[in-house]
Amino acid sequence: AEALACVSAVNPDVILLDVMMPGMDGFAVCEALKTAVSTQHIPIVLVTALDSKEDLARGLDVGADDFIRKPVNGLELRARVRSMLRIKQRHDDMQTLMQLRQDLADMVIHDIRNPLTTITMYCDLLRSFTEPQGQEALQTIIGQVSRLNSYLTDILMMAKMENGSLVLLFTAV
């Protein structure tokens, strides 16, 4: 229980977790770690003397990434930890790339909207100076700018959905 309270602050790369512990067993700890958003990405290796297929299945069901049977062989332990570290490193790299993608999308959307707003503003100004046949061309320009703004809004919404930051407001209609 103490380890659960501080594991998200420590942010380990791999957790070696004994299954048979007093109070809260390793299965319960593993399940709690894998359901918490702040710790679900951490690979967990269950260390156990249990050897039944049911115990293995239960461990996988609660989210364990690997198993090591007791008595622990040092060579096997190091190999499995290295494997979990590679998985964790790939996860971290992917998270970094996803954040860069999000930042780039936000920047591009912002940087494109500014010129589109300027184009719309100048089209509105030109309406008062333009002959009737030019009005149709201005209306076409404004329509296309509106379409581009709509595309940018869609891209922004998709990015927010992927990022999990889209907030839906429900109202009665």
Output the pLDDT for position 81.
95
Each residue of 48-106: pLDDT tens digit? 888 788 888 898 899 999 989 889 999 999 999 999 999 999 999 998 998 888 888 77
Q: Does residue 164 carry a pLDDT above 80?
A: no
Mean pLDDT confidence for 130-147: 87
Distance separating alpha carbons of residues 171 and 173, to the nearest angstrom: 6
pLDDT for 132: 80
Q: Which of 76, 151, 140 is nearest to 113 (CA)?
A: 151
The pTM (predicted TM-score) of the whole model is 0.66
Residue 165 confidence (pLDDT):
74
Q: Report how far residue 44's alpha carbon sits from residue 95's, in angstroms, rounded to the nearest whole number.
A: 19
pLDDT of residue 42: 93
pLDDT the model gives residue 92: 93
> For residues 6 and 15, what is the distance between their CA atoms, to the nearest angstrom?
13
- Which percentage of the chain shows pLDDT scores above 70? 100
Using N-to-C axis directions, what is the helix angle for 26-35 and 2-10, rounded to 10°?
40
Q: What's the pLDDT tens digit per position in 18-41? A: 988 888 888 999 999 999 888 899
pLDDT tens digits for 105-123?
A: 778 877 888 888 899 888 8
Amino acid 34: pLDDT = 93
- Whole-number mean pLDDT of the chain? 87
Cα separation, 11 vs 40, whole angstroms: 11
Which tokens hold the place of 27? Answer: 């299965």
pLDDT of residue 24: 86
d(CA 23, CA 117): 62
